Amino acid sequence: MDLHEFQAKELLARFGVEIPRARVVETSADAVRAAERLGGRRFVVKAQIRAGDRARHGGVRFADGARAAGQEARGMLGRRIVTPQTPEGGELVKWAYVEEAVEAAQMLYAAVLLDRVSGRPLALASAHGGEGIQDRAERDPGIIQSIPLMLRGGAAEGDFAGLAGGIGLAGAALAAMVQLLRQLATAFVKLDAALIEVNPLALTAAATLVALDAKLSIDDNALFRHADLRALRDFTVRDESDPVELEAQRHQINYIRMGGDIGVMVNGAGLALATLDMVCDAGGKPANFMDIRTTATSLDIARGFGLILDNPAVRSILVNIHGGGMQPCDTVAEGIGIAVRQRAAAQAAGKARCVPIAISMAGNHAEFARTVLANTGVPYFAARTPWEAVRQAVGCAESEGSSWLSSLVARRA
């Protein structure tokens, strides 16, 4: 779950990170009043979209005085900003962030993220923060230094002093960076974050560090531990998030759209990735990634299967399930049966497509799951191995065969 800048800053401030004084506004008149309350002569007005590279595309503007802050807010509120990181068509600006301008002696960079190769958190820092750091790092990877972090007693520890010194800081500036890195590492663990990035990080003449911008991404799988953070998700900005993916999240399913025509339902992220590889090896193209969480009920699974059926690009569906203690095969079978029955009437009336289904099930309650599928009238290709199911799904997608569901329609008619 990616947060807006103002949400990320407010959370980091709870861990001691210094942020500029600012207010979130929805209208230009609110922007004027916010600037007046903040005081000062110079402000930064920022479009609140969850995408980087805002400054180069009109999403970050400086204003001299409260009236100018209102004018800048008027120029971005209710409009779409397009950057290389936004969906096609850009993102709609619902809020602007009016912030006091901070004089910086130097722009730095700091982050804590999960390294997916090693499976460990890393702390990163650079003496070259600000706009375009990713492009500069690609040309010169050495400008960003990193250290691994160790988790001990609910905290993340590492050689923060070595990292700060490695980017050329000394004295009070080094001490300030060590403290900030420790604060980010603590927030990373306590918030179950996947990424915390502060860029730019202003080093002032007084050797204090101020977070001028912040990105914070929370691990979706940990949101059950953070009801307060879950409430921050902005479901109203539909163009900023895939509504289908959000719907899947609500039903305990990890779902990502892809560009193929074979719908995929799997339990377990590792098995799901391996299944996608098999589909590609067999010459097919997956339409989605789907991982059923162990907390999903049969009704959740039915909704997830329905999302696959709702995709007009899907020509066949591949189900690869390995039942465990917390997610037996029969629960998945019940969910599939519910989804298929819900669409039987629509299929009989010609209002819904009939999509071939290939299923491979093994593990806990696998035999009973086959009985459940039979009792609920789900016609499918029963595969003895995952590879056989993959080949059947790919073959059906290539032939676009759909008459195989006519028996179900006839039985329901």
User: Is 398 among the residues known to form the active site?
Assistant: no
Residue 202 dihedral angles phi and psi, to the nearest 5°: -85, 125
User: Is 380 among the residues known to form the active site?
Assistant: no
Indicate whether this model's pTM tops 0.75.
no
Instruction: Give alpha helix (H) positions in 282-355.
Output: 298-310, 329-348
Summarised one tens digit per residue, pLDDT across range 190-243 is 999 999 999 999 999 999 999 999 999 988 777 778 777 776 765 444 444 566
Determine which one of 18, 72, 109, 334 is catalytic.
109
Tell me which DSSP letter residue 3 carries: P
Summarised one tens digit per residue, pLDDT across range 132-171 is 787 788 888 889 999 999 988 778 899 999 999 999 999 9
Average pLDDT along the chain: 88
Whole-angstrom distance, CA of residue 200 vs CA of residue 210? 9
Q: Say whether 16 sits in a helix, a strand or coil.
A: coil
Question: Which residues lie closer than 8 Å to 206 by C-beta, 6 or more apart?
Answer: none
Summarised one tens digit per residue, pLDDT across range 296-307 is 999 999 999 999
Query: Mean of the pLDDT values across residues 337-360?
Result: 79
Whole-angstrom distance, CA of residue 5 vs CA of residue 257? 26
Question: Rounded to 10 degrees, what is the CA torsion of 209, 230, 251, 235?
Answer: -90
Summarised one tens digit per residue, pLDDT across range 63-79 is 999 999 999 999 999 99
* pLDDT range class, residue 399, cuts 50, 70, 90: confident
Summarised one tens digit per residue, pLDDT across range 76-128 is 999 999 888 777 788 899 999 999 999 999 999 999 999 888 888 999 999 99
Summarised one tens digit per residue, pLDDT across range 22-78 is 999 999 999 999 999 999 899 999 999 888 888 888 899 999 999 999 999 999 999
Buried-exposed string 304-329: b where 16+ CB fall within 10 A, e elsewhere = bbbbbbebeebbbbbbbbbbeeebbb
Determine which one of 99, 197, 240, 334 is catalytic.
197
Whether 386 shows a pLDDT value over 90: the answer reads: yes
**Ordered DSSP codes for 343-388:** HHHHHHTTSS----EEEEEEETTHHHHHHHHHHTT---EE-SSHHH
Question: Which residues lie closer than 8 Å to 247 by C-beta, 6 or more apart?
Answer: 303, 307
Residue 170: half-sphere exposure toward Cβ, Cα within 13 Å: 1
pLDDT of residue 134: 79
Whole-angstrom distance, CA of residue 390 vs CA of residue 280? 9
Query: Mean of the pLDDT values across residues 326-352?
Result: 81
Whole-angstrom distance, CA of residue 215 vs CA of residue 200? 11
Which candidate, 130, 129, 183, places its Cα nearest to that of 157? Answer: 183
pLDDT of residue 196: 96
Cis amide prior to 84 (ω within 30 degrees):
no
pLDDT of residue 235: 44
